[in-house]
Structure 1
Amino acid sequence: MAATLQLNTTKWSLNSNQSDVLIKARHSIIAYISGSLNKFKGSIDMQNNEVEDACIEFNLDVKNQESTLKNIDSPLYINDYLDSNTFPNITFKSTSFQKISSNINFLKGNLTVNNITKTVELDAQLINITIQNGTKTAIFEISGLIKRNDFDLVANAYNHTNGISLGQDITLTANLEFVI
């Protein structure tokens, strides 16, 4: 009689206070949006310290005056390339997680910018697993290029950005912390 090895899958919850999003447009601006006042929800399933499934959702209010939104090294504002005056929220809700190998994962989902929703595929990576003060933490990063034209965001709006030309793409990076 052969013994069977049973592997347990553990569900981890997203810690919204330690999660954030970085938005970057080429040649112009980097905007850091923290998780303290924005909404992050989600979970990941892990087995033997490898991600088996992920469900991630976030809603960013880029006009929230109380947020720690910071523009780095730029005379531009985030409104200059996200049209956040009209539609101040950026939302993402995952629809599927595809595991290729222990280092290659893809997260598909619906991204809404400028009140336009498109299905996007983002790279997903488990960065590190640590234990501090008895709490097990997994650091997870999702990233991808978002085409400005897909969301009717004016690319290279030279006259609207004080003479600074914007790139065609926006880089979105979410640094997410999960705990059990």
Structure 2
Amino acid sequence: MENEWKIDASESDVLIKSRRSLIDYMSGSKNNFKGHIAIQNNEVENASIEFSLKVNDKDSNSDLKLIDFFENDETPVIQFKSTSFQKVNKSINFLKGNLTIQNITKVVELDAEFIGYRDYNGTKNASFEIIGNINPKDFGLYYNSYSSHNGYAVGSDIKLIANLEFKNQ
């Protein structure tokens, strides 16, 4: 039996980090998350994910902010919209989609893992984690971290980790 689950934006978040630094943590309360997953026999059979992240959050408490990568952009946004979901087995899935940063769009493939179920305030939620590495230079993002940010070193890749919660509809 297949069940349709919709994303719970208030319980979803994205962490963006580099090798040695937390760059930004973006909660669903400040950003736009959309999506659904189809679960059949306790396995994810299909998924569609879309999110839009505002990276100029003045309240961010990380040492290095994602806004530091953007130049001359008043409202920088990161957008992802999935185009396909591939299930390899129960624990290995891939989510392919369009990632847009600074008006540059690239097709990316992210690892997608169904974590399982949890009860939250009497409601059963399904947890899903999406992980992928992004080369900031592919999107025109350059940052000389060591000289301009108190010695913090930023690796050549940025890791995007989305922790997504879904409610049964």
Deviation of 1:148 (Å): 1.4
More displaced stretch, 21-30 vs 148-157? 148-157
**CA 1:85–1:61: 2 relative to 1, 3 Å:** farther
Partner of 1:173: 161
Matches within 5 A, 1:71-90: 71=62, 74=63, 76-81=64-69, 83=70, 86=73, 88-90=76-78
Confirm whether residue 20 of structure 1 aligns to residue 13 of structure 2. Answer: yes
Partner of 1:41: 34
Structure 2 letter corresponding to 1:69: S
- Tell me, in whole angstroms, the C-alpha distance in 1 between the residues paired with 2:81 and 2:11: 19
> Which structure has the bigger radius of gyration?
1
Contact 1:28 1:165 in 2 (8 A): yes
Pairs aligned (count)? 167
Confirm whether residue 115 of structure 1 aligns to residue 103 of structure 2. Answer: yes
- Tell me, in whole angstroms, the C-alpha distance in 1 between the residues paired with 2:146 and 2:119: 48
- Tell me, in whole angstroms, the C-alpha distance in 2 between the residues paired with 1:10 and 1:160: 50
Root-mean-square deviation over aligned CA pairs = 1.9
- Tell me, in whole angstroms, the C-alpha distance in 1 between the residues paired with 2:138 and 2:9: 28
Unaligned runs of 5+ in 1: 1-7
Q: TM-score, normalised by structure 2?
A: 0.90
Unaligned runs of 5+ in 2: none
- Tell me, in whole angstroms, the C-alpha distance in 2 between the residues paired with 1:64 and 1:31: 9
Secondary structure of 1:63 counterpart: coil
Residue identity over aligned pairs, in percent, reads 53
Structure 1 letter corresponding to 2:101: V
Equivalent residue in structure 1 for 2:115, among 127, 142, 154: 127
Partner of 1:94: 82
Secondary structure of 1:70 counterpart: coil
